């Protein structure tokens, strides 16, 4: 479950990460796209063939999810929001968390689908067909329930007298500021139901201002809550989610070894993919303006047996040196094999194997045909077998992105 939209600081979609989109579809059988009101899908539609996009969705490769529900801390903003029965402004070391969701989400989803069906630069009928496919695969928005479940586990962590997670997170933040966290005192108290107070010596011992101390505590609290929010989404949708760099410390503190392997799997695969791509001379490239994404070719790769071989090899590449990978990709035998099975190679082999048929004398054409047929099999099976890794990485992947 991962988005491919590129957004500005005000959450406006400014583009799409085409390479991330293609890589995830190559590396995973099914991808859930948390879409930003389908603006990212519109940009994808403008850069690809609408019919191929429909076939890709029909194949079960994609489903889409739109939900504005999120968790937030509004302790000191409560008086401005005038929440019923609870309008006092909290102190700097006191925190109150809420679940937020737009009141007009249903109408916005309908409008997003309508906008997708009228995507600029795409024939109306084709755009409408894509919009219908996207609408059919939209997952039910469950954000309110998922975030509430995440908060339930997060509150249990804060209430535990044995938990040291918040203190550990704040200690690391102090270290990044250049302060030695030795002697840090920090405890969390639930002074009224679902409102928490952080007792610490951040101001007295470490000479932070009350607002600075609040910011450090709040960052730690939000990072820890993100662990439980992501776990709740994983359980609800049966999916893997990547993690942001700023959340890494909280995950390291809370996740056991098995959970670590699950949460890092998407990023691990993509990291390994880019590592071998750079060794192969591809590297990270952005699509040029106007370049299309060949979704039909992407579907061919997803359905090929070569992709399964490539995925297996990619996992083993973790334990190989750059030099070993470079030798593998530059192997003359592998490159010869891929040349033999290329379009030009197939034409040449067809001419070679059918050439004896033009010889009128059976005494010559029959032995020649047997010899050339045997030579063709020897080339394919022994001397130069097709290399699935080279085929996917060097030939297939770049053609999808038009590189």
> Can you give the pLDDT at residue 247?
77
* Residue range 70-91, pLDDT digits in tens: 999 987 776 566 555 556 778 8
Cα–Cα nearest to 144, from 267, 232, 42: 232
* Residue range 263-314, pLDDT digits in tens: 556 667 788 888 888 887 776 554 444 467 899 999 999 998 888 888 878 8
pLDDT average, residue stretch 45-62: 96
Domain map (residue ranges) of the chain: 1-67+101-138, 142-249
> Can you give the pLDDT at residue 145?
92
Q: Which residues pair with 195 in a beta bridge?
A: 96, 192
Residue 302 in tokens: 């997803």
Residue 121 pLDDT exceeds 80: yes
pLDDT average, residue stretch 346-361: 51
Residue 377 in tokens: 């099999």
pLDDT average, residue stretch 380-394: 64
What is the C-alpha to C-alpha distance for residues 87 and 75, in angstroms, rounded to an integer?
10
Angle at 374 between CA 370 and CA 377, to 5 degrees: 145
> Can you give the pLDDT at residue 147?
93
> Can you give the pLDDT at residue 265?
60
Question: What burial class does residue 18 get, using C-beta atoms within 10 Å of its C-beta: 0-12 exposed, 13-18 middle, 19+ buried?
Answer: buried
Q: How distant, in Å, are the alpha carbons of 122, 147, 275, 276, 326 from that of 323?
A: 46, 46, 12, 11, 5
Least reliable range by pLDDT among 93-107, 128-142, 245-259, 361-375: 361-375
- Which range scores top for mean pLDDT: 256-265, 323-332, 337-346? 323-332
> Between 245 and 331, whose confidence is greater?
245
Residue 257 pLDDT exceeds 50: no
> Can you give the pLDDT at residue 162?
73
* Residue range 128-156, pLDDT digits in tens: 999 999 999 999 999 999 999 999 999 99
Cα–Cα nearest to 48, from 30, 32, 62: 62
pLDDT band at 384 (very low <50, low <70, confident <90, very high): very low
Least reliable range by pLDDT among 4-18, 33-47, 187-201, 356-370: 356-370
- DSSP letters, 351-382, are HHHHGGGG-S-HHHHHHHHHHHHHHHHHIIII
Distant-in-sequence, close-in-space partners of 297: CB < 8 Å, separation ≥ 6: 396, 399, 400
């Amino acid at each position: 479950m991962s988005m491919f939209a590129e957004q500005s600081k005000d959450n406006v979609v400014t583009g799409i990460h085409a390479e991330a989109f293609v890589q995830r579809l190559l590396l995973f059988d099914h991808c859930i796209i948390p879409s930003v009101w389908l603006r990212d899908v519109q940009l994808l539609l403008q850069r690809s063939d609408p019919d191929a996009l429909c076939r890709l969705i029909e194949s079960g490769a994609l489903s889409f999810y739109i939900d504005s529900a999120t968790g937030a801390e509004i302790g000191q903003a409560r008086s401005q929001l005038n929440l019923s029965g609870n309008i006092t402004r909290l102190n700097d070391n006191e925190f109150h968390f809420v679940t937020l969701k737009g009141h007009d989400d249903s109408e916005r989803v309908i409008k997003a689908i309508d906008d997708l069906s009228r995507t600029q630069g795409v024939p109306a009928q084709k755009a409408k067909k894509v919009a219908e496919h996207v609408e059919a695969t939209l997952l039910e928005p469950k954000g309110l329930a998922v975030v509430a479940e995440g908060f339930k586990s997060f509150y249990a962590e804060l209430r535990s007298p044995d938990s040291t997670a918040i203190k550990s997170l704040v200690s690391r933040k102090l270290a990044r500021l250049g302060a030695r966290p030795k002697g840090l005192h920090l405890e969390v108290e639930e002074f009224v139901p679902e409102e928490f107070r952080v007792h610490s010596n951040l101001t007295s011992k470490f000479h932070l201002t009350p607002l600075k101390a609040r910011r450090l505590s709040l960052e730690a609290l939000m990072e820890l809550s993100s662990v439980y929010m992501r776990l709740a989404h994983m359980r609800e949708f049966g999916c893997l989610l990547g993690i942001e760099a700023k959340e890494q410390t909280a995950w390291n503190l809370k996740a056991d070894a098995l959970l670590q392997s699950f949460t890092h799997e998407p990023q691990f695969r993509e990291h390994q993919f880019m590592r071998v791509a750079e060794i192969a001379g591809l590297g990270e490239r952005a699509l040029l303006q106007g370049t299309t994404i060949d979704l039909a070719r992407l579907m061919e790769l997803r359905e090929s047996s070569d992709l399964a071989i490539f995925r297996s090899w990619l996992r083993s590449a973790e334990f190989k040196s750059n030099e070993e990978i470079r030798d593998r990709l530059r192997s003359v035998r592998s490159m010869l094999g891929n040349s033999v099975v290329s379009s030009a190679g197939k034409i040449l082999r067809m001419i070679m194997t059918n050439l004896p048929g033009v010889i009128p004398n059976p005494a010559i054409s029959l032995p020649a045909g047997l010899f050339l047929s045997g030579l063709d099999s020897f080339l394919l099976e022994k001397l130069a077998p097709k290399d699935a890794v080279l085929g996917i990485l060097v030939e297939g992947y770049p053609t999808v992105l038009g590189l």
